[in-house]
């Protein structure tokens, strides 16, 4: 990757997000926990989720990822509380489409993913970017299965 590509990909905003991930750590009694890892780059995330009345009521994440994966985790952490399973799954699908097939930026409240548009051209970074939102969607489905939340 050329230096000019690195500057474009790792913008100041991405680095700011990566340095300020909200809701880090673990929940004491989550409704579901999901661990995901990207075998390509080694990035990993553990998501703990609480669900009440069909909405995310508690969230925590343990993120070990590159700056792009950390930035994505920060966007999820800022947007996830109060969201329904359908909203999270829509955000996951829209982010995947944005990265892999040139789709539009995910709708609000997950429109912060716009900052990651330059990563479209770097397929080897997609898995890390998708880790947190995929783990969150999986955790919500798991919580629904086990608790009927």
Q: Is the pLDDT of residue 14 over 50?
A: yes
Average pLDDT, the chain: 91
What is the phi/psi pair of residue 68, to 5°? -70, -45
pLDDT in tens, 54-72: 999 999 999 999 999 999 9
- pTM for the model stands at 0.90
CA–CA dist 110, 72 (Å, integer): 10
Top pLDDT among 13 and 51 is at 51
Predicted confidence at residue 116, as pLDDT, reads 95
Domains in the chain (CATH in brackets) are 3-147 (3.90.1010.10)
The average pLDDT across 91-111 equals 96
Mean pLDDT, to the nearest integer, of 31-54? 94
Site of tokens 């930026």 = 105
Q: Could you tell me where the DSSP H helices lie in 19-122?
A: 67-79, 85-101
For residue 69, give both structure tokens: 């994966």
Q: Which residue has the higher pLDDT, 7 or 58?
A: 58
| pLDDT, tens digit, 9 for 90 and up, residues 113-130 | 999 999 998 898 999 999
């Amino acid at each position: 990757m050329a230096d000019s590509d690195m500057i474009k990909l790792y913008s100041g905003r991405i680095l700011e997000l990566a340095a300020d991930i909200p809701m880090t750590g673990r929940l004491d009694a989550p409704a579901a926990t999901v661990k995901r890892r990207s075998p390509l780059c080694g990035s990993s995330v553990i998501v703990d989720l609480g669900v009440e009345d069909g909405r995310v009521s508690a969230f925590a994440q343990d993120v070990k990822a590159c700056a792009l994966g950390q930035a994505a985790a920060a966007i999820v952490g800022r947007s996830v509380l109060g969201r329904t399973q359908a909203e999270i799954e829509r955000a996951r699908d829209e982010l995947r489409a944005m990265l892999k097939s040139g789709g539009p930026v995910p709708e609000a409240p997950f429109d912060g993913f716009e900052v990651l548009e330059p990563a479209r051209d770097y397929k080897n970074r997609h898995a890390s970017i998708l880790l947190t939102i995929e783990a969150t969607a999986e955790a919500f489905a798991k919580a629904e299965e086990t608790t009927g939340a």
